[in-house]
């Protein structure tokens, strides 16, 4: 995918996410992604975070960077820590430009991933820029062509929202109140 096309898709994704009151950033390296994460958490008063290690967070040394920023970082025992954690960091498999939607596709329903991305007030999603897909149709086609169909596929579009309370749209009732997406251009081997 040419650089211009990638930028075009990123801008399309970003505009969709912002309409849904999410935030979107793009950096060149995993290390820079960690720096952006630390800066955002400091701004938002985050004191502790559940970090589900992934190729981007490991390469960017997120645990070390976050610890040095004075924020407590949990990398396991998610069942115990996520109910009280201020934020969660996970890596997603794909991003759909036309919808501003993130896609989690896993061999099985990874409980840790779900805890870190849904049980917390702020979900920080890491995504490799190279996994951006223009449309939902193309995404479905890619999922069907995987060597093994994922046992779990989750779609995340903006912070959680519901209209089932007196038919009034409310954000952040059944899940994260804030969604932050960080695209990383650098190719990381063994993408989670």
Provide the edge-to-edge strand list for the sheet that holds 23-27. Answer: 23-27, 178-184, 122-128, 87-91, 48-51, 72-74
Share of the chain above pLDDT 90, in %: 64
pLDDT band at 191 (very low <50, low <70, confident <90, very high): very low
User: How many residues does the structure list for the chain?
Assistant: 192
pTM of the model: 0.90
| Cβ-Cβ contacts under 8 Å for 87 (sequence gap 6 or more) | 41, 44, 46, 48, 49, 50, 120, 121, 122, 123, 124
Cα(127)–Cα(103) distance, integer angstroms: 10
Phi, psi of 79 (to 5 degrees): -60, -35
Alpha-carbon distance of 189 to 170, in angstroms, equals: 39
Closest CA to 120 of 79, 148, 149, 166: 79
Handedness of CA 9, 12, 17, 21 (dihedral sign): positive
pLDDT tens string 103-146: 998 877 678 888 888 888 899 999 999 999 999 999 999 999 98
Residues 6+ apart with CB under 8 A from 39: none
Whole-number percent of the chain with pLDDT over 70: 88
Assign residue 182 a region (left: φ > 0; alpha: ψ between -120 and 50; beta: otherwise). beta
């Amino acid at each position: 995918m040419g650089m211009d096309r990638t930028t075009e898709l990123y801008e399309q994704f970003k505009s969709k996410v912002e309409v849904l009151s999410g935030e979107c950033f793009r950096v060149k390296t995993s290390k820079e992604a960690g720096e952006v994460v630390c800066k955002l958490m400091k701004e938002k008063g985050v004191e502790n975070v559940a970090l589900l290690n992934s190729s981007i967070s490991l390469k960017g040394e997120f645990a070390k960077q976050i610890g040095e920023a004075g924020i407590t970082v949990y990398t396991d025992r998610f069942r115990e820590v996520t109910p009280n954690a201020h934020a969660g960091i996970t890596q997603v498999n794909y991003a759909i430009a036309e919808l501003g939607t993130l896609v989690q596709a896993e061999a099985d329903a990874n409980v840790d991933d779900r805890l870190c991305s849904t049980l917390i007030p702020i979900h920080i999603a890491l995504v490799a820029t190279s996994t951006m897909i223009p449309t939902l149709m193309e995404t479905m086609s890619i999922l069907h062509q995987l060597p093994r169909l994922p046992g779990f596929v989750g779609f995340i579009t903006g912070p959680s929202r519901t209209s089932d309370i007196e038919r009034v749209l409310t954000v952040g009732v059944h899940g994260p109140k804030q969604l932050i997406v960080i695209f990383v251009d650098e190719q990381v081997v063994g993408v989670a």
